[in-house]
Chain A
Amino acid sequence: MAKSDAIEGSKDPDLIKLVEEQQVKVPEKKKPRAEQDVSDLLDMKMQKYLRGEAANLEVLQDKKLKTQLVIKEKLYGQSAKAAAKHEQWLMPNEEGFLEAEGFEKTWRITQQSLLNEVDANSSRKAFDMILPELGPYRMKYTSNGRYMLLGGRKGHLGLLDMLSFDIVKEFQVRETVRDVEFLHTEELFSVAQKKYLYIYNRQGTEIHCLKEHGTPLRLQFLDKHFLLASVNTFGQLHYQDVTTGEIVANLRTGLGRTDVMRMNPYNSIIGLGHSSGKLTMWKPTSAKPLITMFCNPGPVTAIAFHSNGHLMATAGMGCRIKLWDIRKFEVLHSYFGHASTLDFSQKGLLAVGNRTHVNVWRDYKGDQRYGRYMTHEMVKGYQVNNLVFRPYEDVLGIGHSMGISSILIPGSGEPNFDSWVANPYETKKQRREKEVHSLLDKLPPETIMLDPKEIGTVKQPRKKEKKSKKEMEEEMEAEVETAKAIKLKKKTKGRNKPSKRAKKKEEEVLKAKRPFVEQRLKEEQPFKKQKMIAEGEAELPVSLQRFARKQAA
């Protein structure tokens, strides 16, 4: 802790005292330097809480509305400032870090040397579990980072409490396990098994067998929507509401079997990587993908989404790891390398797993230019299967062919949790309370959209596609042709004269032409009006204009 105080000097309690003393002593108008620094720092921190630029109120004509909005904006500013102050002074923990000194490089620092430096409580978090028989293993953490679920390919399932290092439940299902996923709490978890998708509870009791999903390969849980998403061997994406049991969507990707699936935590959109090198993004309410993008020549092997919703990482067989700006769908940076698994941490570190290597990348300058931060080599050629950062801890979980390990990555986790969002220390009663509240706030599937901030904003009116002149003419011609082709009935008593027939035909043609001519006139009208205004004739009301004296040409 002493080290951290030295680094982040502004949080030093002595400094606060100093600032206060200066305030008392110097009754100057100009702010003292330290105070100025603090206020600058607060302003910088406020930006995060302001959630975007303020609206331009100067252009508003409506005075009443303007006043209301000015008051609103003021309130937003105040709440952002309060939040920034809270962050500045009241947060109990500080972010972890790793700094090299002299000729050291952070990526040369091994786990062993790290463990010698850190406190005993933290060193317990790094461990290796060798489970040689039923691997390779996949693992997941709950959203508060307290529980870990591990699933061995050959049917081994385990639920662990990572705070007390207790095994909550361990059992075998004696068939292939392809993926595991927690539902909204640790009480329930879903497992993609050989044929079907199963849901178990904490005691290991089978609660449901969901046959509608086919043979699922990967699972994702949309915790705000209570939707369990799975992709099966036929490349079908299923969404099932776990509160009602209703299948919300059954979407055919049409791009073949895939086991690359990730949910974007920013907007709950599912990203699927396909063997053709395409990446598709899905929401349950549209049968077609929202986005189809070509990422890599060769199959996509891994995807990861940053929680701020701007950044996506993809890896493919084409030996490229790419970082995308998913607001613009542009490649930001492209790196050489393979990855079988990718994961972003809460603080934006990127873990890249490939065979026996684990690399962690970091953007040192905050410009999405990622560079090497830490590396880790698996011993004895253990193959990395998946990598998951543990929320609210500086820990990276590795599921590999011979069990699971967990290593320390300083600076990866969010140091301060919010008791109302995810509390690692929550009690049974709190968990139950939270479950009820999250069910009350359950979002309907329609709220999944690319930009989640769009809700509550004004929908832009869609402009009607205007037909070009040529198209209009073609259409008119076609109509005229059909009108000409109408066969007239044979009439009797002089009504069948050639002249009458010709007249009738002509009428039909005119009738067909009429709507087009009217439309053209209508389009030309505004121009005419403008012309008249320009000539100064339009001062009279519309109905009297016809009496206006014509100007001499």
Chain B
Amino acid sequence: MKVKVISRSTDDFTRERSQDLHKVFRNYDPNLRTQEKAIEYTRALNAAKLEKIFARPLIGAMDGHIDAISCMAKNPNHLKGIFSGSMDGDIRLWDMATRRTTCRFNGHQGPVRGLTVSTDGNVLVSCGNDCSVKLWKVASTFESSDTVEDDEPLANYVWKYAFRAVDHQWESNIFATGGAQVDIWDHNRSNPVNSFEWGTATIVSLRFNPGEPNVLATSASDRSITLYDLRMSSPARKVIMKTKTNAICWNPMEPMNFTAANEDCNCYSYDARKLDEAKCVHQDHVSAVMDIDYSPTGREFVTGSYDRTVRIFRYNGGHSREIYHTKRMQRVFCVKYSCDGTYVISGSDDTNLRLWKANASEQLGVLLPRERKKQEYLDAVKNRYKHLPDVKRIIRHRHLPKPIYKAAGLRRTMVEAERRKDERRRAHSAPGSTSVQPFRKRRIIQEIE
């Protein structure tokens, strides 16, 4: 007879010294862990609930301005500084960590309409309705806890028209301003080095391409989005939409794509090489979208709207992933994603800047490896069971202020009515006489080369 029975010696399965780690033995046999699907589902459900409980996105408000905030700029060389300009001509540099003003730049007479920082982070460029462009020196460190007052700009250039937007070129001394026309400036010249004009419309926003520094996109009050190349003498391409585009932002990771924040409550992602249709339409806002900014990862962007909310969209998502609002936040005029992609800053009509977490329920600070692993696991199960009604309901649920909830309902009714009408019109017309236009093309009037 041959015989063997299971025989374990305790020493092999327990630790020798109390300082040792406990031995861990694994057996992945499915028969040992029955009902694993039910357990996973319960974990997903609990994780979704916990996510809701921990979703506290607002970190704090930064108050100090005495008029609505019109524009912001992030310092590419300094993580926790943010510049903001307000309608009364006040420009401030904030320390996001302590949420207080570290520096004030006094000089503008009217509203500040545009702010931008040079790539090395040393020069701040501001422009405003007082027809002046001012260059300011930005100190790299601030020792004292008091606010530093800066009354002397490095340079002050006065020009012919009121400025609406400014943006700095990557890695050079050149910046562009928009107003009645597009002007290209050098830091050291008091007159523009170059000017572009296409029609008579006012430029409302302007952004340099992060990948190809000579490419510039602008939007104007004649509902157009125009692309310029600084190496050519005239603008390159133009697309005219049915409504005005308030802001433009290039995707930093896919620099051929940009997203336009439109007056018709939607954002449109375009491929700059193919402007006859949008790549994606991002809907959810119920009023004009005022500003947009991409996360440095290029996977998400944040929008601020006239409907007093901030929303976060995926770069290819038709609907928003997140909505932020507070009782006191008024119309949002400018938003920024922080340079590390973990925070979102919004500036609004109520003279405050607000600091939000980009992921509402994310735990900030350093995570232990085990914590991180656990979080990854929970995210994975949540993703796996997100289609089930219970989990889906919890994950999708957002509390909305009543006016927004109602406005969203109204918009839905309107869109639905339009769709139905279109359908009927098609049913009653001769076959082939009507064409169905996708939503991605419907809001575009024409493309001009």
Binding site for B on A (CB under 8 A): 3-4, 7, 48-49, 51, 83, 86-87, 90-101, 104, 109, 113-114, 117-119, 121-122, 163, 224, 265-268, 307-309, 346, 392-394, 408, 410, 413-425, 427, 430, 440-444, 447, 452-453, 455-456, 539-544
Distance in Å from the Cβ of B395 to the closest Cβ of chain A? 15
In this assembly, does B375 line the interface, its C-beta being within 8 Å of a C-beta of chain A?
no
A96 to B385, CA, bound (A): 40
Whether the Cβ atoms of B46 and A418 lie closer than 8 Å is no
Give which listed residue, A101, A410, A414, A542, contacts B5 with CB less than 8 A: A410
Give which listed residue, A267, A410, A453, contacts B4 with CB less than 8 A: A410
Residues of B within 8 A of A48 (CB): 29-30
29 A-B contacts (beta carbon < 8 Å)? A83-B28, A86-B26, A96-B3, A96-B4, A98-B1, A101-B2, A109-B1, A113-B1, A224-B39, A266-B35, A268-B35, A394-B6, A410-B3, A410-B4, A414-B27, A414-B32, A415-B6, A416-B27, A418-B26, A418-B29, A419-B25, A420-B26, A441-B39, A447-B35, A453-B37, A455-B41, A456-B384, A456-B388, A543-B428
Whether the Cβ atoms of A425 and B14 lie closer than 8 Å is yes
Residues of B within 8 A of A443 (CB): 35, 38-39, 42
Whether the Cβ atoms of B10 and A163 lie closer than 8 Å is yes
Residues of A within 8 A of B429 (CB): 541
Distance in Å from the Cβ of A515 to the closest Cβ of chain B? 28
Residues of B within 8 A of A267 (CB): 34-35
Distance in Å from the Cβ of A113 to the closest Cβ of chain B? 7
Residues of B within 8 A of A94 (CB): 4
Whether the Cβ atoms of A99 and B35 lie closer than 8 Å is no
In this assembly, does B12 line the interface, its C-beta being within 8 Å of a C-beta of chain A?
yes
Residues of A within 8 A of B2 (CB): 3, 7, 97-99, 101
Closest 9 CB pairs of A and B: A447-B38, A83-B28, A394-B5, A99-B2, A418-B27, A96-B5, A416-B27, A122-B7, A419-B24
Whether the Cβ atoms of A425 and B427 lie closer than 8 Å is no
Whether the Cβ atoms of A456 and B428 lie closer than 8 Å is no
The residue on A at minimum CB distance from B32 is A421
Whether the Cβ atoms of B385 and A427 lie closer than 8 Å is no
Whether the Cβ atoms of A414 and B29 lie closer than 8 Å is yes
Residues of A within 8 A of B33 (CB): 418, 421
A393 to B8, CA, bound (A): 9
- Chain A interface helix/strand/loop/mixed: loop
Residues of B within 8 A of A539 (CB): 431
Mark interface residues in B14-52 (1 if CB within 8 Å of A CB, else 0).
Answer: 100000001111111111111101111111001000000
A216 to B36, CA, bound (A): 31
In this assembly, does B188 line the interface, its C-beta being within 8 Å of a C-beta of chain A?
no
Whether the Cβ atoms of B4 and A452 lie closer than 8 Å is no
Binding site for A on B (CB under 8 A): 1-10, 12-14, 22-35, 37-43, 46, 384-385, 388, 426-431
Residues of A within 8 A of B388 (CB): 456
Residues of A within 8 A of B35 (CB): 224, 266-268, 443, 447, 452
Residues of B within 8 A of A224 (CB): 34-35, 38-39
Give which listed residue, B10, B34, B385, contacts A456 with CB less than 8 A: B385
Whether the Cβ atoms of A118 and B7 lie closer than 8 Å is yes
Residues of B within 8 A of A109 (CB): 1
Give which listed residue, A392, A427, A541, contacts B428 with CB less than 8 A: A541
Whether the Cβ atoms of A117 and B1 lie closer than 8 Å is yes
The residue on A at minimum CB distance from B14 is A425
Whether the Cβ atoms of A96 and B31 lie closer than 8 Å is no
Give which listed residue, B5, B9, B23, B46, contacts A118 with CB less than 8 A: B5
A422 to B33, CA, bound (A): 10
Residues of B within 8 A of A117 (CB): 1, 3
Whether the Cβ atoms of B8 and A427 lie closer than 8 Å is no
A268 to B2, CA, bound (A): 37
A96 to B5, CA, bound (A): 4
Given contact pairs A418-B32, A425-B13, A441-B42, enumerate 12 new A-B contacts (beta carbons under 8 Å). A92-B25, A93-B6, A96-B6, A98-B3, A163-B10, A267-B34, A410-B3, A410-B5, A419-B26, A447-B35, A452-B38, A456-B41
The residue on B at minimum CB distance from A541 is B427
Whether the Cβ atoms of A49 and B30 lie closer than 8 Å is yes
Residues of B within 8 A of A87 (CB): 27-29
Interface centre among A408, A425, A447, A453, by most chain B C-beta atoms within 10 angstroms, is A425
Residues of B within 8 A of A4 (CB): 4
A109 to B23, CA, bound (A): 37
A542 to B40, CA, bound (A): 50
Residues of A within 8 A of B30 (CB): 48-49, 51
A422 to B34, CA, bound (A): 13
State whether A97 and B25 are in contact (beta carbons under 8 Å apart), knowing that A266-B34, A267-B34 are contacts in the complex. no
The residue on B at minimum CB distance from A72 is B384
Residues of B within 8 A of A114 (CB): 3
